Structure 1
Amino acid sequence: MHSAPSVTYPVGRSRGATRILVVLWTLGACCAGASCYLFDSAGWRQLLLVLSVVFSGVAAGFGLRRDGAATLHFDGLYWSLTGADPTRGVRAARATVALDFQSLMLVRLSEPGRASRWVWLEQRSMPERWRDVRRAVYSRAPAAEPASDPWRATAPADAP
């Protein structure tokens, strides 16, 4: 079995991810508006609901604005993320796919002792390397030691 190829892929603002976020926020805002309309009492609950919708929209806007260009690199064993802000970089992480829409993926980079980093990978960023990055993300990490004599692992213990 062959290992996944080493690959370098650009990461940055994703139009697809922005669209998904805007649609989800709009659906939430519509549900909050319908809730305020259907329940007549204008109390603290409706105010809290409206404030939470506004706060989530502002937080999402700042989060989208903060995402800058970076480079994701896979060396065959670990993932690294480098970009304009070196304090937010990732050096030796494992990648796990959270969402896969075939041309858009949400990937979680987890590094021991640090908070996870979430990145959107988009096919239109570098179409010629898209298959390579998909193979690398879905590949299993190589084992620390190769299994010796795999045919003996299935033999009964009392066999000669």
Structure 2
Amino acid sequence: MKAAIRPDGVGCRIASAADFSNWIAERSAAELTEPFTFVVGTDGVLRLAPRRCEHVACAGGDMVLSAGEIGFVREADRWTVSEISNQSTGYCPDIGSWPEIARALDDVGLERPSGFTHEVVFRRCPDCHEHNIVREDDFVCVFCGSDLPKTWNMDPIT
């Protein structure tokens, strides 16, 4: 997987308030109207990239603790997180990954909501092994009609 990642596709490492200030200052007004791609690496550090960047590319092909989309708004002379989701079909993170992104945002000093503002529930079908997004608590595979597990099961098949 890493061999397919271009070096310029890797997200920007945001380990401090200064890192975030420098990164956000380089964003255009048009970019700021959309959410950005984020990942939290296994080192616990936030990485940010333009929205159209794949999460796997943002992470440099590495495993992550959390991933999704994040939006920022300027309020009272500081940046805050306005929206955040675990929407990443590359990693399919569980909604239980919230503490990892919360910790990374706290480390950078960004105000944030108390949880994902939009939660996406991912499940792998035990029968056909396809990835599914569960909508309206309908835990049925859209590909084969099998029941999906109630607990997150997106780890790689062994």
Question: Structure 2-normalised TM-score?
Answer: 0.24
More helix by share: 1
Higher RCO by CA contacts (8 Å cutoff, separation 6 or greater): 1
Question: Structure 1-normalised TM-score?
Answer: 0.24
Q: Which has more radius of gyration? A: 1
